[in-house]
Amino acid sequence: SQQGEEDPQALSIQEGENATMNCSYKTSINNLQWYRQNSGRGLVHLILIRSNEREKHSGRLRVTLDTSKKSSSLLITASRAADTASYFCATGNSGNTPLVFGKGTRLSVIA
Amino acid sequence: DADVTQTPRNRITKTGKRIMLECSQTKGHDRMYWYRQDPGLGLRLIYYSFDVKDINKGEISDGYSVSRQAQAKFSLSLESAIPNQTALYFCATRAGTGVNQPQHFGDGTRLSIL
């Protein structure tokens, strides 16, 4: 069963705007990861945030984690048409428990 | 991720046929996974393996079987395919050391069952 639920399901923005996607989950986690999927391709890992971290940056990506609210957000700043893709959050628990993926947010960046 | 290779990339077959999807990896990872993706449902785990002697069922293993022929190879079989197994199938790998490791995905097999 899905642990993470992304919100919104779909998002359409203009190039140069910021895109924010949210992920909520149900049980305690060890880490939360974000992945991107371009059309017709496999998922690509973007960033991982540990449960004891509150914010993490990687280039134009900013991820926050609020374990008290069981939620995370992914911010893509100054979006580009190439950022058009589906974005998935995945939660990790113990080392032997597989990641559990959400249903994803479809982001469209219009040039 | 070119280090995780899935074959075939596309397959169309008929109900009742036996189908094997193959996955090979050059990343040297111990852990391998099979997922299916359906529109609006995200990724669901079918089977996973921590090493050659270890196979575990995932969320939706009914109708599927797997074989871990070597550390680098993990195959998914549909013994008697049915139309609702039409989906996009992904193989993924992960290093076994440490909890905070990402997964690496192949580019998928698009399977259509008529």
pLDDT 10s digit of each residue in chain A, 111 long? 456 788 899 999 999 999 999 999 998 899 999 999 999 899 999 999 999 999 999 999 999 999 999 999 999 999 999 999 999 999 988 767 889 999 999 999 999
Dump pLDDT digits (tens) for B36-48: 999 877 899 999 9
Q: Are strands B31-38 and B87-94 parallel, antiparallel or unpaired?
A: antiparallel
User: Are the Cβ atoms of A45 and B33 closer than 8 angstroms?
Assistant: no
Quick check: A22 and B85 in contact, CB under 8 A?
no
Closest A-chain CA to B91: A42
Kindly give, in sequence order, each residue whose CB lies less than 8 Å from that of residue A40, ignoring residues fewer than 6 positions away. B107, B108
Contact indicator for B113, B21 with CB cutoff of 8 Å: no
Closest residue, chain A, to B60 (C-alpha) = A1
CB-based contact, A59 to chain B, within 8 Å: no
Q: What is the pLDDT of residues B66-98, one digit of tens each?
A: 999 999 999 999 999 999 999 999 999 998 777
Q: Which pLDDT tens digit goes with each residue over B46-71?
A: 999 999 999 999 999 999 999 999 99
Chain B touched by A44 (CB under 8 Å): yes
Closest CA to A31 of A7, A3, A58, A59: A3
- B39 and chain A: CB distance < 8 Å anywhere? no
